[in-house]
Chains A and B, each alone.
Chain A
Amino acid sequence: MSDHHHHDDDWPYPHPKQPDTEDAPFTDHMAMAEAVTELLIDKNIFTADDMRKMVEYIDSKSPAEGARMVARAWTDPDFKGRMLKDVNAAAKELDIDAGTIPIRCVENTPEAHNVIVCTLCSCYPRMLLGLPPDWYKSRAYRSRVIREPRKVLAEFGTDISDAVETRVHDSTADLRYMVLPMRPKGSEGMNEDALAGLVTRDSMIGVSVIKDL
């Protein structure tokens, strides 16, 4: 072992240090959220373990749940009809807990391509798609996809023909959205599990389409 002491100003590696979470400023709102959490625990409204479990549960959600719904919708037109009316109720049929915030499914067709954004903050159907990607919450995505959707989609490698309408859904209020992507050509013989494996998170946000096989 060398007798070097590595202080912050004596970083021996050729790359910058990864910032610690605490390096970001601790804002008033963060202080408030911590204070409210502590009060709720002190007053026995819920326990610290309840809080941890809920965070763990939300973190356990993944796009696989949305993908299962898409695969069922592709193979069962009646289910698709119910899903387009009420995603949360349709999810229950597959034993998926989509939560209580109403989720609307918007269907891609040969005439219209849907893409979702929350321009005001970062609303996202977490209960069906898991945690949002960082870019979804970025100011660049939120401000640009609403005013130049075709350019943003092209940056994601998704070219939408001018013959197709692009439809940007802004989740400004009490709904969350998921896109029902089009079923790719060449998938006719596949079963539901295999189909679910084709469905990506980005295709359910609408920044991507599922390529024909």
Chain B
Amino acid sequence: MSARFAVGDNVRVREAYPPGHIRTPHFIRGKAGVVSAVIGTFANPEELAYGRPGTPKQTLYWVTFPQTGLWPDYAGPEHDTAVVDVFEHWLVGEQQ
């Protein structure tokens, strides 16, 4: 499976709240970031958690978020970031 996003792409995390074993933390849902690395493909943990094989494997990315975009009251400088591992099916492309 080829990666849908490349380093430097602007992306947004889907704002969805499905039940189950989800590795996408709430604080990034609906938030915009930039792909900073394409890590590789891994069995989907949302499937593995229920004893299924986790196929198709999902591409995992590093997505870098500006802290000021995550927390409206962020007290540090603009250049502070959070880097979160996010699976491809949680990301949508964003025009910039």
Instruction: Give me the interface of A with B, judged by CB distance under 8 Å.
Output: 102, 119-120, 146-151, 162, 165-175
Given contacts A147-B70, A150-B76, A175-B39, contact A170 B23 (CB under 8 A): no
Nearest-CB residue, chain A, relative to B64:
A167
Which residues on B sit within 8 Å (CB–CB) of A167? Answer: 80-83
Given contacts A167-B81, A172-B84, A172-B86, contact A147 B74 (CB under 8 A): yes
Q: Does B71 contact A (CB under 8 A)?
A: yes
Which residues on B sit within 8 Å (CB–CB) of A149? Answer: 67, 76, 80
Nearest-CB residue, chain B, relative to A151:
B75
Q: Does B27 contact A (CB under 8 A)?
A: yes
Query: Size band of the B side of the interface?
Result: 20 to 34
Nearest-CB residue, chain A, relative to B76:
A150
Which residues on B sit within 8 Å (CB–CB) of A148? Answer: 74-76
A143 to chain B, nearest CB (A): 9
Nearest-CB residue, chain B, relative to A113:
B80
Interface of A is mostly: loop
Q: Does B30 contact A (CB under 8 A)?
A: no
Interface of B is mostly: mixed
Q: Is the CB of B80 within 8 A of A166?
A: yes
Q: Is the CB of B80 within 8 A of A172?
A: no
- Number of contacts between A and B (CB, 8 Å)? 70
Which residues on B sit within 8 Å (CB–CB) of A170? Answer: 25, 82-85
Which residues on B sit within 8 Å (CB–CB) of A175? Answer: 39, 60, 85
Q: Is the CB of B81 within 8 A of A172?
A: no
A117 to chain B, nearest CB (A): 9
Instruction: Give me the interface of B with A, judged by CB distance under 8 Å.
Output: 23-25, 27, 39-40, 42, 45, 60, 67, 70-71, 74-77, 79-87
Which residues on B sit within 8 Å (CB–CB) of A151? Answer: 75
Q: Is the CB of B25 within 8 A of A172?
A: yes
Given contacts A119-B27, A173-B45, contact A168 B75 (CB under 8 A): no
Question: Of the candidates B45, B67, B83, which one forms a contact with A169 in the assembled complex, judged by CB atoms under 8 Å apart?
Answer: B83
A59 to chain B, nearest CB (A): 26
Q: Is the CB of B85 within 8 A of A174?
A: yes
Nearest-CB residue, chain A, relative to B24:
A172
Which residues on A sit within 8 Å (CB–CB) of B24? Answer: 172
Q: Is the CB of B23 within 8 A of A172?
A: yes
Which residues on A sit within 8 Å (CB–CB) of B40? Answer: 102
Which residues on A sit within 8 Å (CB–CB) of B79? Answer: 165
C-alpha gap A103/B67 in the complex (Å): 24
Most buried by A among B45, B80, B84: B80
A28 to chain B, nearest CB (A): 16
C-alpha gap A132/B78 in the complex (Å): 31
Closest 8 CB pairs of A and B: A173-B85, A174-B42, A165-B79, A170-B84, A168-B82, A166-B80, A173-B23, A172-B23
A162 to chain B, nearest CB (A): 5
A104 to chain B, nearest CB (A): 8
